[in-house]
Protein backbone atom coordinates (compact mmCIF):
# COMPACT_ATOMS: atom_id res chain seq x y z
CA UNK A 1 0.00 0.00 0.00
CA UNK A 2 1.49 3.33 -1.00
CA UNK A 3 1.32 6.60 0.91
CA UNK A 4 -1.21 8.22 -1.44
CA UNK A 5 -3.72 5.40 -0.91
CA UNK A 6 -3.11 5.44 2.84
CA UNK A 7 -3.69 9.19 3.03
CA UNK A 8 -6.85 8.87 0.90
CA UNK A 9 -8.16 6.15 3.23
CA UNK A 10 -7.40 8.28 6.28
CA UNK A 11 -9.18 11.27 4.74
CA UNK A 12 -12.24 9.17 3.85
CA UNK A 13 -12.40 7.36 7.21
CA UNK A 14 -11.47 9.95 9.81
CA UNK A 15 -13.58 8.30 12.51
CA UNK A 16 -11.68 5.02 12.12
CA UNK A 17 -8.35 6.85 12.23
CA UNK A 18 -9.33 8.68 15.44
CA UNK A 19 -10.57 5.42 16.98
CA UNK A 20 -7.27 3.73 16.11
CA UNK A 21 -5.27 6.58 17.59
CA UNK A 22 -7.43 6.60 20.74
CA UNK A 23 -7.10 2.85 21.26
CA UNK A 24 -3.35 3.00 20.67
CA UNK A 25 -3.00 5.78 23.25
CA UNK A 26 -5.12 3.83 25.77
CA UNK A 27 -3.03 0.68 25.31
CA UNK A 28 0.22 2.62 25.68
CA UNK A 29 -1.04 4.34 28.83
CA UNK A 30 -2.17 1.03 30.34
CA UNK A 31 1.13 -0.67 29.60
CA UNK A 32 3.23 2.21 30.90
CA UNK A 33 1.15 2.34 34.07
CA UNK A 34 1.56 -1.40 34.53
CA UNK A 35 5.33 -1.23 34.02
CA UNK A 36 5.80 1.62 36.48
CA UNK A 37 3.29 0.47 39.09
CA UNK A 38 5.80 -1.28 41.35
CA UNK A 39 3.84 -4.53 41.49
CA UNK A 40 3.52 -7.54 39.22
CA UNK A 41 0.44 -9.26 37.88
CA UNK A 42 0.32 -12.98 38.57
CA UNK A 43 -1.87 -15.70 37.07
CA UNK A 44 -3.58 -18.35 39.25
CA UNK A 45 -1.02 -21.05 38.42
CA UNK A 46 1.91 -18.81 39.35
CA UNK A 47 0.12 -17.78 42.53
CA UNK A 48 0.07 -21.38 43.76
CA UNK A 49 3.85 -21.48 43.32
CA UNK A 50 4.26 -18.23 45.26
CA UNK A 51 2.13 -19.56 48.10
CA UNK A 52 3.75 -23.00 48.22
CA UNK A 53 7.39 -22.11 47.54
CA UNK A 54 7.80 -18.61 48.95
CA UNK A 55 5.15 -18.63 51.69
CA UNK A 56 3.51 -15.50 50.27
CA UNK A 57 0.96 -13.66 52.37
CA UNK A 58 -2.37 -13.53 50.54
CA UNK A 59 -4.51 -10.48 51.32
CA UNK A 60 -8.09 -10.42 50.01
CA UNK A 61 -9.64 -6.94 49.93
CA UNK A 62 -13.09 -8.18 48.89
CA UNK A 63 -16.20 -7.07 50.73
CA UNK A 64 -16.89 -9.46 53.62
CA UNK A 65 -19.97 -10.96 51.92
CA UNK A 66 -17.94 -11.73 48.78
CA UNK A 67 -15.08 -13.12 50.85
CA UNK A 68 -17.43 -15.48 52.67
CA UNK A 69 -18.92 -16.71 49.36
CA UNK A 70 -15.51 -17.93 48.28
CA UNK A 71 -11.85 -17.06 48.76
CA UNK A 72 -8.47 -18.65 48.30
CA UNK A 73 -7.59 -20.82 51.29
CA UNK A 74 -5.30 -19.03 53.70
CA UNK A 75 -6.24 -15.54 52.50
CA UNK A 76 -6.59 -12.82 55.11
CA UNK A 77 -9.59 -10.56 54.54
CA UNK A 78 -8.93 -6.84 54.97
CA UNK A 79 -11.74 -4.47 54.10
CA UNK A 80 -10.69 -1.74 51.63
CA UNK A 81 -11.68 0.94 54.14
CA UNK A 82 -9.26 -0.62 56.67
CA UNK A 83 -6.48 -1.41 54.20
CA UNK A 84 -3.34 0.28 55.47
CA UNK A 85 0.23 -0.67 54.51
CA UNK A 86 1.26 0.08 58.10
CA UNK A 87 -1.22 -2.53 59.43
CA UNK A 88 0.61 -4.82 61.88
CA UNK A 89 0.03 -7.92 59.73
CA UNK A 90 1.31 -6.20 56.61
CA UNK A 91 4.15 -4.24 58.19
CA UNK A 92 5.65 -7.47 59.53
CA UNK A 93 6.04 -8.88 56.01
CA UNK A 94 7.39 -5.81 54.23
CA UNK A 95 10.27 -7.80 52.63
CA UNK A 96 8.30 -10.99 51.90
CA UNK A 97 6.01 -11.67 48.94
CA UNK A 98 2.53 -10.19 49.41
CA UNK A 99 -0.26 -11.04 46.97
CA UNK A 100 -3.36 -8.87 46.89
CA UNK A 101 -6.63 -10.15 45.47
CA UNK A 102 -10.33 -9.40 45.43
CA UNK A 103 -13.38 -10.74 43.64
CA UNK A 104 -12.59 -9.39 40.16
CA UNK A 105 -9.11 -7.90 40.44
CA UNK A 106 -10.19 -4.25 40.30
CA UNK A 107 -9.98 -3.23 43.98
CA UNK A 108 -6.87 -5.32 44.57
CA UNK A 109 -4.96 -3.42 41.90
CA UNK A 110 -5.30 -0.19 43.88
CA UNK A 111 -4.33 -1.98 47.11
CA UNK A 112 -1.22 -3.47 45.45
CA UNK A 113 -0.26 0.00 44.25
CA UNK A 114 -0.53 1.32 47.84
CA UNK A 115 1.78 -1.42 49.10
CA UNK A 116 4.35 -0.74 46.39
CA UNK A 117 4.31 2.99 47.16
CA UNK A 118 4.74 2.20 50.87
CA UNK A 119 8.03 0.41 50.11
CA UNK A 120 7.01 -3.24 50.01
CA UNK A 121 9.60 -5.13 47.98
CA UNK A 122 7.62 -8.05 46.48
CA UNK A 123 4.05 -7.05 45.68
CA UNK A 124 1.86 -9.16 43.44
CA UNK A 125 -1.70 -8.76 42.20
CA UNK A 126 -3.88 -11.70 41.15
CA UNK A 127 -4.95 -10.75 37.64
CA UNK A 128 -8.69 -11.39 37.40
CA UNK A 129 -9.07 -11.96 41.14
CA UNK A 130 -10.84 -14.88 42.76
CA UNK A 131 -13.04 -15.16 39.66
CA UNK A 132 -9.94 -16.04 37.59
CA UNK A 133 -8.87 -18.48 40.31
CA UNK A 134 -12.24 -20.24 40.05
CA UNK A 135 -12.13 -20.22 36.24
CA UNK A 136 -8.80 -22.05 36.50
CA UNK A 137 -10.71 -24.75 38.42
CA UNK A 138 -8.80 -24.12 41.63
CA UNK A 139 -10.51 -24.67 45.01
CA UNK A 140 -12.00 -21.92 47.16
CA UNK A 141 -12.81 -21.86 50.84
CA UNK A 142 -16.12 -20.52 52.09
CA UNK A 143 -16.98 -18.62 55.26
CA UNK A 144 -14.67 -16.50 57.39
CA UNK A 145 -10.94 -17.19 57.77
* Cα dihedral value 35, 43, 87, 62, nearest 10: 110
Residue 144 to residue 16: CA distance in whole angstroms:
50
> Is 70 in the active site?
no
Cβ contacts of 72-76, under 8 Å, gap ≥ 24: 72/47, 72/101, 72/130, 72/133, 72/138, 72/140, 72/141, 73/139, 73/140, 73/141, 75/101, 75/141, 75/145, 76/145
Q: In sequence order, what are the beta bridge partners of 60?
A: 77, 101
- Considering the candidates 102, 111, 116, 130, report the single residue annotated as catalytic: 102
What are the catalytic residues?
102
Amino acid sequence: MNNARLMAFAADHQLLVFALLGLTAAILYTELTRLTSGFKAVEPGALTALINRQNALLVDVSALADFEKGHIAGAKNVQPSHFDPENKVLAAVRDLPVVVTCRSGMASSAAARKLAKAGFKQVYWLDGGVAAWQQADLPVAKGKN
